[in-house]
Structure 1
């Protein structure tokens, strides 16, 4: 299993973002079992099956159980927070992404 330390991972992301680059955290969340479903390989009949382990973590910043207190998560979150251009927009009613000039991604609504 590949592992990288929090500092080197965050440093690499900082370099990419400081150059206005894009990055993908391939395994930001460990595990692939949505809702903790398991997998199985059915053979000739349904009674003859083999378990299929589909959980892998690969040292993800967010563990399969959702743990976000690790050093890698905190380091990456810090780098992302520093490099994000955020601006608060106040409105009495929710507004669309297009109205605020955001064509993709996410908006955070709070009240």
Structure 2
């Protein structure tokens, strides 16, 4: 994996019905899109219009680096958009059982 980046910009790859569905989507995307190689997925559960979703992103970039990654991802057929961090953290399936991750 690449070293943890320090910027506040993220490339959002999708919003899914659960962390499990997001994990499957990450597996497919990380095999299909070389631009994702070495990056760790980020995620976050959220509600929109009363529905539960799990956001999937990669991030910690500068704005220009996030824009570049998203352009490369789209050029190969992916869908994404760039946004600032909104509580993103290590993807749920990467966390060790029994370990809590603090957030603000």
The structure that has the greater radius of gyration is 1
TM-score by length of 2: 0.23
TM-score by length of 1: 0.22
More strand as a share of residues = 2
Using CA pairs under 8 Å that are at least 6 residues apart, name the structure with larger relative contact order, 1 or 2: 2
